[in-house]
Amino acid sequence: MKIIVLAKAVPEVRNVRLALKGGDIDRSDLNYIINEQDDYALEEALRQKEKNGGEVVVLTLGEEAGRKGITQMVRQCYAKGADRAIMALDASYGDWDDAVKARIASSIISSEGADIIIGGSQSFDTASSRFGPMVAELLDIPHATLITALRNEEGGRITVYRDLEQGVQEIVELALPCLVTVQTGINTPRYASLNKIIAATKKEIKSTSLTELQISAQQIEAWNRVRRVSVAFPTEKESNTLFLQGKPEEEAAQLVKLLGEKGLIQR
């Protein structure tokens, strides 16, 4: 069983005040981490390998400026048990539509070949959930998105559970090779030990480029249909939020008083 994991390094923005720079957010001071759903995808791939044997290959696309953070993410994947990694970084990555990224990925995947391609159901930064199913269509293989369970069946098939709305799960069977995107919670991702992370620094990461893939600037231009015009902080819609101030005890006292006065809690 050969599994390709689509992993993306995303800037960690939780508990961070963001700044804007040149039509995008300023990433220069941000740490990169593996996109949360992709971490679950990697775990699912590693479990498949442990059960059925085979190879786990991590494929990541990203911006040249993020090389350091992306390399660290790949090393984390190595430390967890990935066998190989392919990295395609480009200075223009940040301006690309997923349609461009999907074509680059599918070009790499079609020469690699795989039984299962697995990625996260969305990325935290752009959250458009387009990349995976686009890659599947380009490779002409079936796909299932938002999966919460994966079971191997006889005869090169798998059964997956998909998240629908309101807690309903859809049970879908599909033939390999196929592409699936996972939801958080499908498993519990393992931690990488420090020793393994250190050992992983010596492991080679294969780099590829548009030149090597024979993709021209004209092709990129033609595929790039959705373009970012600007970014902004959300306009505060005359926020009616009342922010309580003070020490925790003072905040708690104000809150309990306020909720009592509004009759929201019994006094």
Residues 163-222 contacting another protein, CB under 8 A: 163-175, 178, 183-185, 188
**What is the total residue count of the chain?**
267
Interface residue with another protein among 47, 67, 142, 213 (CB under 8 A) is 142
Interface residue with another protein among 55, 129, 197, 205 (CB under 8 A) is 129
CA proximity to 144, closest of 167, 165, 116, 125:
116
- Does 248 bind another protein (CB under 8 A)? Our answer is yes
Cβ distance to another protein smaller for residue 73 or 136: 136
Minimum CB separation of residue 157 from another protein in Å reads 10
Where in 225-244 is the site for another protein (CB under 8 A)?
225-237, 239-244
> Under rule CB under 8 A, how many of the chain's residues touch another protein?
88
- Does 1 bind another protein (CB under 8 A)? Our answer is no
Provide the 8-state DSSP code for 208.
Answer: E
- Does 94 bind another protein (CB under 8 A)? Our answer is no
Long-range CB contacts for residues 257-263, cutoff 8 Å, separation at least 24: none
Q: With 0-12 CB in 10 A as exposed, 13-18 as middle and 19+ as buried, what is 83?
A: middle
Minimum CB separation of residue 138 from another protein in Å reads 6
Interface residue with another protein among 42, 61, 88, 136 (CB under 8 A) is 136
End-to-end CA distance of the chain: 62
| CA pair distance 266, 69, nearest whole angstrom | 51
Minimum CB separation of residue 172 from another protein in Å reads 5
CA proximity to 62, closest of 85, 94, 38, 84:
94
